[in-house]
Structure 1
Amino acid sequence: MEFNLLQKLKYASQLTTQEKHIVDYILKDPEVVFHSTAHELGRQTFTSASTIVRLCKKLGTRGYPDFQLKLALDYRQQPSALQSESDLAAERGDVVAAIESVPYLYGQALNDTRSTLNPSALVRIAEWVKSAARIDIYGSDMNYYLAQQACTKWNELGISAIAHNDADRHYLLTLKPGSPTLSFVISHTGENRSMVEVVRMLNDKNMNVVAVTGSNDSTLSRSCTETLLTHGYNEQLRLSKMSSMVSVLYLFDILYMSSITDTL
């Protein structure tokens, strides 16, 4: 799942100077949106109605009326959270502001991931972990370090697990068809070319492969035996990577806890 509109306003990146000005204006007084048309808000921010509508669509809404409705719903649930990052920094300092915002981001990432969990799929994957002779986890860049953390935990239980940061063609080609190796492949977008190539080669070996990705419609998900959905990844949001990391670690820790139970 993606960030709600409140978070998109607070953490949106890749905005033009005019769009940033509009966002700051709204965050200082969110209720102005409820009492203004797009033309009126454009005049108040010294921009235009077309710029307002363009920003609304960039934030994932269908237009200004849809933006008004979704912002009203978010504001009703947590009005105090609409305070901008700049206000928080000015009042309490960046570090102190982070004390409040980081748990909020972690909490939503965990809740959103939990809401998409498929218990039957998790039970099935946990059984695969239990019967696997070895676990391979593939991930590039940041995902490689997440893979290493997951492998370290399993290795401490005596379960052989290895992290890979690319498509090791020599290793993949030497795997025997039907090998009792369970593979996880991490890609938040599900379109990482290297990871898609890994899955293609693993599929040739007739093995169980689990996608760890943010989209059921991605190439990665469609190519794997099972999918574990992570918190929605959005490149437009500065802190999206942080939330996605928490989501991935949560999924692997669920399977790790299952492994602990099996080894007791």
Structure 2
Amino acid sequence: MPFLVAKPIKYEKMKYVLQNKVLSIFYPLNILRSGLVIIIDKLEKMEGFTSQEKEIAKFILEKPSLLGELSTEDLARATYTSPSTVVRLCKKLKTKGYNDFKLKFSTEYLEVARVSEILKDEPITKESTYNDVLNILPKMYDAAITNTKLMLDSNTIKRVINRLKIAEKIDIYGYGISYSLASQASFKFLTIGIESMAHNGLNEHYIAASNNRSNMVAILISFTGKNSSITKIAKYLKRNGIYVIGISGFRTSELLKHCDELIQVDHKKIVLSMEVVTSVISIQYVFDIIFSMLLADNYEKNIKASLEVLNKPFEKQ
């Protein structure tokens, strides 16, 4: 879904009284819809909602500034539903309860509003100057990382990290610019002693010659999740007993069913071809998270190896 910006942007004060703390935040009344798989997006899509739950969702999206002042009874009364329906919707949105929902909703709303304000205008136009570009690009990087951070599921990332810790080899697949990202990530893994290789296609002989496929992990990169070649590779690897991790801008059913885990990143068509910047930054961010966690897991070993390299450089041998 492309970024949409409402003009003019109006602001209202939202007061949240949670755990005896008052959070006063200013939000645009009409924020851009980022398409993220987060609470706000789920409220908009209303997938799997009952008719009563849809009424609650509509009320929250239309009058977000009132949410912080309302109890479950108040919200139920305002939407002609019941307190139990409000609580049930909160649980359906993967929150612990109504107060937890309000806290998470406010956090996400603030981030989405901030990103919409950052990118409310066309990032690059024919009038853009050198100084404009210098200022715009960091904002685009910030938006890509923020959106990806909101989308990441911590349990998925933890499962991926745990699997990579015991992997004997990590193969990373990508085509075009995705292959360059695969090469960068592979190099990083090699620097901390993890055997890794980047591929821009499937080598069936390589897979057949691998002795212990159960200890191999494959990471497949697809900006859209619709690359048929990547999907075919995922299917082949999974069929041959290799643990498959997908990194994609969309949770397409075809790619998802051939992956053991799928990490979703930010991929938006902003303007022109600048969406590639968003995708690249988002995927690099995910790989850096994984790399950093693996580095920390064997911190002493990696520090020792780094010191050895510094003390015995190749040029002096």
Q: Into which bin does the TM-score normalised by the smaller protein fall?
A: 0.5 to 0.7
The partner residue of 2:169 within 134, 150, 153 is: 134
1:215–1:84 Cα change, 3 Å:
closer
Provide Cα deviations, 1:106-142, integer angstroms capped at 9, x if missing partner. Answer: 1111011000111111111101111000000000000
Alignment-mate amino acid for residue 203 of structure 2: D
Alignment-mate amino acid for residue 121 of structure 2: L
The partner residue of 2:117 within 73, 78, 83 is: 78
Q: CA deviation at 1:218?
A: 4.2
The partner residue of 1:174 within 209, 214, 219 is: 209
- Residues 1:148 and 2:183 aligned together: yes
**Kept after mapping to 2: 8 A contact 1:177/1:205:** no
Q: CA deviation at 1:174?
A: 3.3
Q: Tell me the SS of whatever aligns to 1:115.
A: helix
Percent of paired sites with the same residue: 25
In structure 1, list runs of 5 or more residues that go unmatched.
10-29, 32-68
- Matched ranges for 1:1-264 at <5 A: 2-6=1-5, 78=117, 81-82=120-121, 85-86=124-125, 89=128, 93=129, 95-176=130-211, 178-234=213-269, 237-264=272-299
**Kept after mapping to 1: 8 A contact 2:245/2:261:** yes
Q: CA deviation at 1:173?
A: 3.4
Equivalent residues, number: 196
With normalisation by structure 2, the TM-score equals 0.56
Distance across 1 between alignment mates of 2:280 and 2:245: 17
Q: CA deviation at 1:187?
A: 0.6
Higher relative contact order (CA 8 A, sep 6+): 1
After the TM superposition, which of the residue ranges 140-149 and 178-187 deviates more from structure 2? Answer: 178-187
In structure 2, list runs of 5 or more residues that go unmatched.
9-61, 63-111, 300-317
Structure number with larger C-alpha Rg: 2
1:217–1:256 Cα change, 3 Å:
same
Alignment-mate amino acid for residue 4 of structure 1: F
Q: CA deviation at 1:164?
A: 0.3
Distance across 2 between alignment mates of 1:82 and 1:137: 36
1:162–1:85 Cα change, 3 Å:
closer
1:180–1:84 Cα change, 3 Å:
closer
Query: What is the CA RMSD across the aligned residues, in angstroms?
Result: 2.8
Distance across 1 between alignment mates of 2:237 and 2:252: 20
**Kept after mapping to 2: 8 A contact 1:209/1:226:** yes
Q: CA deviation at 1:192?
A: 1.2
1:216–1:84 Cα change, 3 Å:
closer
Provide Cα deviations, 1:70-120, integer angstroms capped at 9, x if missing partner. Answer: xxx979x6399537744852xxx2x21111110111111101100011111
Alignment-mate amino acid for residue 5 of structure 1: L
Alignment-mate amino acid for residue 3 of structure 2: N
1:213–1:80 Cα change, 3 Å:
closer
| Structure with the larger helix share | 1
Alignment-mate amino acid for residue 118 of structure 1: D
Q: CA deviation at 1:236?
A: 6.5
**Kept after mapping to 1: 8 A contact 2:119/2:140:** no
Q: CA deviation at 1:197?
A: 1.4
Distance across 1 between alignment mates of 2:118 and 2:162: 44
With normalisation by structure 1, the TM-score equals 0.67
**Kept after mapping to 2: 8 A contact 1:188/1:214:** yes
Q: CA deviation at 1:230?
A: 1.2
| Structure with the larger strand share | 2
1:74–1:263 Cα change, 3 Å:
closer
